[in-house]
Amino acid sequence: MLIAVDIGNSSINIGYFTANGISVQSINTHPLKDSEEYLTDICNFLQQKRIEKNSHGGIISSVVPGHTSVLTEALRRLSADEGAALLTVTHEMSSGLKFRVNAPEKVGSDRLANAVAAKEIYGKPAAVIDFGTATTITVVGVDDDFIGGAILPGLGLMNRALGEGTSRLQEIILEPPLRALGVDTQTCIRSGLFYGTAGACERILMGIEEETGVTLKVILTGGFATVMGRFLRRIHEINSNLTLEGLRILYEKNRPS
The answer, yes or no, to whether residue 207 has pLDDT greater than 80, is: yes
The pLDDT value recorded for residue 256 is 83
pLDDT digit string, tens, across residues 25-83? 999 999 999 999 999 999 999 999 999 877 689 999 999 999 999 999 999 888 765 55
For 137, list phi and psi in degrees, rounded to 5: -120, 125
Per-residue pLDDT band for 213 (boundaries 50, 70, 90) equals very high
Dihedral sign for Cα atoms in the order 124, 129, 132, 135: positive
Compute how many other C-beta atoms are within 10 angstroms of the C-beta atom of residue 182: 15
**pTM, entire model:** 0.95
Return all residues near 170 (Cβ < 8 A) that are at least 6 apart.
163
Tell me how far apart the alpha carbons of residues 235 and 110 are, in angstroms, rounded to a whole number: 23
2-88: CATH architecture: 2-Layer Sandwich (3.30)
The pLDDT value recorded for residue 24 is 97
Q: What superfamily does domain 98-246 belong to in CATH?
A: ATPase, nucleotide binding domain (3.30.420.40)
**Residue 77 annotated as part of some ligand binding site:** no
**Residue 148 annotated as part of some ligand binding site:** no
The pLDDT value recorded for residue 128 is 98
The answer, yes or no, to whether residue 175 has pLDDT greater than 70, is: yes
SS3 255: coil
Tell me how far apart the alpha carbons of residues 117 and 123 are, in angstroms, rounded to a whole number: 9
The pLDDT value recorded for residue 37 is 97
The answer, yes or no, to whether residue 178 has pLDDT greater than 70, is: yes
**Residue 121 annotated as part of some ligand binding site:** no
Same CATH topology for 2-88 and 98-246: the answer is: yes
Q: So where are the chain's domains?
A: 2-88, 98-246
| Residue among 95, 85, 94, 143 at smallest CA distance from 115 | 95
For 106, list phi and psi in degrees, rounded to 5: -95, 0
**Residue 6 annotated as part of some ligand binding site:** yes
Per-residue pLDDT band for 85 (boundaries 50, 70, 90) equals confident
The pLDDT value recorded for residue 81 is 56
- Residues with active-site annotation: 110
The answer, yes or no, to whether residue 2 has pLDDT greater than 80, is: yes
Environment class of 203 (CB within 10 Å of its CB; exposed 0-12, middle 13-18, buried 19+) = exposed
Per-residue pLDDT band for 114 (boundaries 50, 70, 90) equals very high
